[in-house]
Structures are given as C-alpha cells and as structure tokens.
Amino acid sequence: MSSKRIPRLGIGGPVGSGKTMLIEQVVPRLSSRGYQAGIISNDVVSREDAERMRLNLAKGRGLMSEDLVVGLATGGCPHTAVREDPSMNISVVEEMESMHGDLDLILIESGGDNITTTFSPALADYFIYIIDVSGGDKYPRKRGLGIESCDLLVINKIDIAPYVGADLSVMERDAKAIRGSKPYVFVNCKTGEGTEKVTDHIIRDLLFEAPPKAIAKK
C-alpha cells in the first residue's frame, strides 16, 4: 500500500540486552552523516522505551520530530508481532512511509524476547540481533534462530565481561563458528564503543551507501 518502500532495519534481542540503547547510539551517528530515521518500538508491557527515545532523540536532541517515534503494544506476543503476523507493524511502517517519504530508513525494535526471534522479511530488510555478556559466554554457542540468522550480531556490555565471568574470545570464536562469514560486533552501548562500526554496517549493508535523501535532493 505504501508509495515507496523505505529501507527497514529490525532490531531484536532478549529483555535488557540493550536494543533501545543501541538505537540511542546509532540514530545520532546516522544523523551526523545526514541520514534521517523513524523508529517503531514494540514494547512488551509499557510505552517506556518509546517515550525514552522520544525524550532523548526527538525532544532532547532535536534529531527527529516526535511523531517519528511510535510505540506499539504486542498483546504479549513480541515475536509474533515481528514475524508470524507483523500486520500492525507493517501498517505503522506504511503510515510512516506515506507521511514521511523523505526518511532514509525506519528502525523497528522488537519487544524483548528469546533467542529464537527473527523478523519477517516482509517487515525488515536487515536484521540486527543483540545479546549481552551477562548471560554468559555460552550465548552465541547456544545458537537460536536470532543469533544464527541475523545479518549482524551485536554483543553488548563488554565492559562487564570480567565481572560476570564471560570470556570475549570464547564468544568471538563461537560467533564465527555459528555464523560463518556473517559479521558480529562487540559494543558497549553505555559509552558508545563499537557502535560506529554498527552504523557503518547499516550504511553499507542496508542502505548500500546511498547518499542521504536530503543531500541527494540538493
């Protein structure tokens, strides 16, 4: 139904893994390079994530208008909302596409879920799965569709690895073994460490290095 499809980035991961913080790191970096983003946040039980991003990214930093951060309830089924029946998400994406055709990309944050989360290809063109080290360094080894099939695996909270007994070299080895040549990035979303690399992947692999629409128009 939409006039023109805007590239869509799905971000999934367990509760507390840092999905919202990753967005809060990546959107300003994209913006500094001229790329304008809209955000749809699927919350499991509250509007907190959407409201926080609206406050931090829209009101606080003026990086986007407030209506470009939309919170969506999922009826307690976060994985269904982005995979088996993404109807509500697709509707909101299409509304955003028709009202803000000048956006360069739309980020869709899934509700916190388990390691089997994936995005419907009808909803997301590129899929980042984020985990953190606090679950132990066994996480990549446990596989799960999210870890295996995502386009980019992001491993967050590397600063606390020594305190939770997580060996980053083990996580790196297992990520390579499970994912083959598909990329992974270690990050600390608190400080921003590693998130520039995530931004590079998005621009290269989702946007195919197309110039921002605002710049291309000039």
Partner 1 sequence: MSTSKIGEIGMLQLADSFFPTGMYTTSSGLEALFYSDKKKMDVDGLSEIIKVYLKHQIGPADCSALGSAYESIQKKDLQKLIEADNTLFSMKLIEEVRNASVRSGTQILNCISSFILNNDILNKYQNAVRDKRASGIYPVALAVASNTFGIPKYNAGLMMLYGFTVSLIGAALRLGTLRHFDGQRIIHELKPAITEIVEKNIDRPLASMWQFAPSIDILQITHEGMSSKMFIT
Q: Using CB under 8 A as the criterion, which residues of the chain lie in contact with partner 1 when the complex forms?
A: 1, 44-48, 72-77, 80-81, 84-88, 90-92, 94
User: Who contacts 97 (Cβ-Cβ below 8 Å, separation ≥6)?
Assistant: 2, 3, 4, 5, 6, 103, 106
From the CB of 75, what's the least distance to partner 1, in Å?
Answer: 4
Main-chain dihedrals φ then ψ at residue 124, nearest 5 degrees = -120, 140
From the CB of 2, what's the least distance to partner 1, in Å?
Answer: 9
Q: Of 101, 105, 110, 142, give the one whose Cα is nearest residue 128.
A: 110
Give the Cα separation of 204 and 210 in Å (integer): 8
Residue 184 is inside which H or E element, if any?
strand 184-186
| Residue for token pair 């409201």 | 51
From the CB of 77, what's the least distance to partner 1, in Å?
Answer: 6
Taking the least distance from each CB to partner 1, the nearer of 122 and 177 is: 122
Taking the least distance from each CB to partner 1, the nearer of 94 and 172 is: 94
From the CB of 95, what's the least distance to partner 1, in Å?
Answer: 8
From the CB of 90, what's the least distance to partner 1, in Å?
Answer: 6
Taking the least distance from each CB to partner 1, the nearer of 32 and 91 is: 91
Taking the least distance from each CB to partner 1, the nearer of 1 and 181 is: 1
Torsion of CA 184, 138, 79, 74, to 10 degrees: -100
Taking the least distance from each CB to partner 1, the nearer of 51 and 172 is: 51
Main-chain dihedrals φ then ψ at residue 52, nearest 5 degrees = -65, -45
